[in-house]
Structure 1
Amino acid sequence: MTVVSGHAQWYGSFKGGTGSLSTKTTDTIHEAPYTYASRFEGAPGAIPEELLVTGHAGCYNHALANIALKVGVTVESISTTAELTMGTDDQGSDGHGYSVEGIHFIVKADLPGITDEAFAELTEQARALCSISKILKVPITLDATRATTSTQVER
């Protein structure tokens, strides 16, 4: 079993406080500052949900590469953007809380030598089987396009 960890620190009130986010397993992110304003108003600083979808996009790419390997499909490239939609709910202390409504992948992948149907099947399998997808309970959707118009071979 592998354990990876991250750390968040927060000081002060919900809207007026400040915090930092760090990766602990690696030193990739070291005390990146975040605030209410960076999360919800476009101010400079980290956004925890942005870190989640960045990791989710990386997880998706790796899942697709793994699935392709298992069925003998070559991967030239995979480029994935994950978009997280935030909404509101009634769970906050003032009756207004924040929620994640869903995640949408925009994938451009070059998997030469397979049909469009096989491409769609592999990209959908990766969406469902990525380890981060498995733990999230929000809708996770996908738009996947082929990066090239390579020769189609039946699989």
Structure 2
Amino acid sequence: MKAEAYSNWIGTWKEGSGSIATKTPTVKQQPFSYASRFEGAPGANPEELLAAAHAGCFNQALANNFGMIGLTADSIITRVEIIVEQDEHNRPSIARSHITVEAKVAGASEQQFADCSERARAHCSISRILTCEITMAATLHG
């Protein structure tokens, strides 16, 4: 399997602009700039795409972990926040990824949910490539 995405850029780091797109029609030429990436202006940013990828990857890993112990999720809702901070050289760097997950899984105990969630946090393929801290808040609904 191979996933592809594309980006173009024209101009300087702070005054320039570009776009981000995926090979599939999932993300079609979304504009982005310094302002959309670091100042909250309208437009896309790479960290938002990383957050979406991490949330989706985590959800599949969590569902797989439930399946390995004979459980099926009724629902898994995950939000991932990618936190960007300045590093020691005053460069923007991804400092951490925070996962907030709520799930409804018939028959799951709190311990099973905690174990499956932690395993997904630590071992989904996106988590494994990130070198930043990955934190989590997990809630099992009855």
Q: TM-score, normalised by structure 2?
A: 0.96
Q: Which has the higher strand share?
A: 2
- Corresponding position of 2:61: 63
Shift of 1:71: 1.5
Shift of 1:27: 1.1
Q: 2:128 aligns with which of 112, 131, 134?
A: 134
- Corresponding position of 1:118: 112
Q: List structure 1 segments (4+ residues) > 4 angstroms apart after TM superposition.
A: none
Shift of 1:143: 0.5
> CA separation in 1, counterparts of 2:140 and 2:96?
24
Change (3 A) 1:90 1:10: farther
The amino acid that maps onto 2:58 is Y
Gaps of at least 5 residues in structure 1 are 150-155
Change (3 A) 1:18 1:65: same
**Is residue 100 from structure 1 mapped to residue 117 from structure 2 by the alignment?**
no
Q: Secondary structure at the match of 1:124?
A: helix
Radius of gyration: which is bigger? 1
- Corresponding position of 1:15: 14
The amino acid that maps onto 1:5 is E
Q: TM-score, normalised by structure 1?
A: 0.88
Q: Secondary structure at the match of 1:76?
A: strand
Gaps of at least 5 residues in structure 2 are none
Paired positions, count: 142
**Is residue 75 from structure 1 mapped to residue 85 from structure 2 by the alignment?**
no
Q: Among the aligned pairs, what percent are the same residue?
A: 45
Q: 1:89 aligns with which of 73, 87, 92?
A: 87
> CA separation in 2, counterparts of 1:115 and 1:28?
36
Shift of 1:90: 4.5
